[in-house]
């Protein structure tokens, strides 16, 4: 099915955006682009070393720049980093140029999926406390989507099929 606009997956870390995005790209026979991977390509370093060397604000600037570039191209399945919703300009751009599907999961399931994760700079230290705080700060932003899909207890395949029937 050719997409008439971008299919954008948002949602907190650990909600399965990357896995579900890959399945969607296969099922829809559509190219896939991931904003975190694009940032890493642009800066030629990993997200965690970018955070460590330059800080979160510099990462957010790259993230917004990459999003703008991606959304100005042909329709694709776009997977995003969990904090892409923090900037209003990003939320507006996503809503106007794509279908925005936000994946969610129960807090306990998220904590379980993210346990021991060392690749995500925002979760280093007391992960439980950080997840709770970030979820609280972002809740309203994640709701600003065309669809919100709960992934709790579902396989990525089931979630991908749910996304396809939604759009």
Supply angle C-alpha 10, 167, 104, rounded to 5: 30
Query: Residues, the chain, total?
Result: 167
- Strand 32-34 relative to strand 6-11: parallel, antiparallel, unpaired? unpaired
Nearer to ligand S3P among residue 62 and residue 99 (C-beta) = 62
Residue 82 assigned to a binding site: yes
Query: Contacts with ligand S3P in 38-77 (CB under 6 A)?
Result: 47
**Where do runs of H (alpha helix) occur along the chain?**
17-28, 35-43, 47-54, 56-71, 88-97, 107-114, 127-143, 156-166
Query: Contacts with ligand S3P in 109-148 (CB under 6 A)?
Result: 120-122
Provide the 3-class DSSP secondary structure of residue 55. Answer: coil
| DSSP codes, 105-135 | --HHHHHHHHTT--S-GGGSSSHHHHHHHHH
Provide the 3-class DSSP secondary structure of residue 5. Answer: coil
CB of 46 to ligand S3P, least distance (A): 10
Residue selected from 81, 90, 91, 103 as contacting ligand S3P according to rule CB under 6 A: 81
Residue selected from 9, 24, 25, 36 as contacting ligand S3P according to rule CB under 6 A: 36
Residue selected from 83, 90, 98, 151 as contacting ligand S3P according to rule CB under 6 A: 83
Nearer to ligand S3P among residue 121 and residue 156 (C-beta) = 121
> Which range touches ligand S3P (CB under 6 A), out of 68-76, 81-89, 92-100, 152-160?
81-89
Cite the annotated binding site by residue number: 14-19, 36, 60, 82, 120, 138
Q: Which residues bind ligand S3P (CB under 6 A)?
A: 13, 17, 36, 47, 81-83, 120-122
């Amino acid at each position: 099915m050719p997409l008439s606009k971008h299919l954008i997956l948002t949602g907190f870390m650990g909600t399965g955006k990357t896995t579900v995005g890959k399945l969607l790209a296969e099922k829809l026979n559509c190219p896939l682009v991931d904003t975190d991977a694009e940032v890493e390509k642009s800066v030629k370093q990993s997200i965690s070393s970018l955070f460590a060397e330059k800080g979160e604000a510099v990462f957010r600037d790259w993230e917004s720049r990459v999003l703008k570039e991606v959304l100005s191209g042909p329709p694709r399945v776009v997977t995003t980093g969990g904090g892409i919703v923090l900037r209003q300009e990003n939320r507006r751009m996503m809503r106007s140029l794509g279908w925005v599907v936000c994946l969610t999961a129960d807090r306990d399931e998220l904590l379980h999926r993210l346990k021991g994760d060392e690749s995500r700079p925002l979760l280093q230290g007391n992960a439980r406390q950080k997840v709770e705080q970030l979820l609280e700060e972002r809740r309203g932003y994640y709701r600003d989507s065309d669809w919100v899909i709960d992934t709790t207890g579902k396989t990525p395949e089931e979630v991908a099929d749910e996304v396809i029937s939604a759009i």
